[in-house]
A and B are shown apart, each in its own frame.
Chain A
Amino acid sequence: GEDVEQSLFLSVREGDSSVINCTYTDSSSTYLYWYKQEPGAGLQLLTYIFSNMDIKQDQRLTVLLNKKDKHLSLRIADTQTGDSAIYFCAESDGGTYKYIFGTGTRLKVLA
């Protein structure tokens, strides 16, 4: 079945760039998303990208999509302590109600 995989942990120093990676298996994915979850809270939509795009930038966030390798990444420039959270990658094919989520990457930003 469809799967979305992420590494579990990432640690960076404040001010550095963070890159969180995700791979997915569903070749019919139309939309790919990044969500942020702070402790004890729900998921906050950060950004999304259509499968016909390679790159999307939104302030400090850059999403790169390599559709051939089914690889998605989220780059956070100038990472701050407030960016410490769990980041979820997700995909949907747009035709059903099914969203596949990764298990999340816990980002720790060291001061």
Chain B
Amino acid sequence: DVKVTQSSRYLVKRTGEKVFLECVQDMDHENMFWYRQDPGLGLRLIYFSYDVKMKEKGDIPEGYSVSREKKERFSLILESASTNQTSMYLCASKGPWETQYFGPGTRLLVL
């Protein structure tokens, strides 16, 4: 079974803090994704990575950056957290037949 893990289930941070969200997959997938999920808006793509050190912006990259130093690990960075970044963050990796496998999510609250 594909396993995608995220470093935290819940996080509470203060405005202006730098926040790191980590995601690890164990299936040697090349492609990994970060989404945020908000009520009524569905899933919106922040960034994706198609290889180590390679990344592409998604639909809402502003205020975020990413890092992919190793194939299994994809990190999302909030350089200076703001209250409008309070959300559920979902990491995914892409398997065969273009299927995506998701981690359990990190619910981030920025105060």
Same assembly? yes
Taking beta carbons and an 8 Å cutoff, which residues of A are in contact with B?
Answer: 30-31, 33, 35, 40-45, 48, 88, 90, 92, 94, 97-99, 101-104
> Interface SS of chain A: helix, strand, loop or mixed?
strand
Q: Which residues of A contact B9 (CB under 8 A)?
A: 40
Judge whether A99 and B45 touch: CB under 8 Å: yes
Q: Looking at the complex, which one of B6, B43, B98, B102 makes contact with A30 (CB distance below 8 Å)?
A: B98
> Interface SS of chain B: helix, strand, loop or mixed?
strand
Residues of B in contact with A, size category: 20 to 34
Q: How far is the CB of A24 from chain B (nearest CB, A)?
A: 13
Taking beta carbons and an 8 Å cutoff, which residues of B are in contact with A?
Answer: 4, 6, 9, 31, 33, 40-43, 45, 48, 50, 56, 90, 92, 94, 97-105, 107
Supply 12 A–B pairs (Cβ within 8 Å), ascending by A: A31-B99, A42-B104, A43-B43, A88-B42, A97-B48, A97-B50, A97-B56, A99-B100, A101-B43, A102-B42, A103-B42, A104-B42
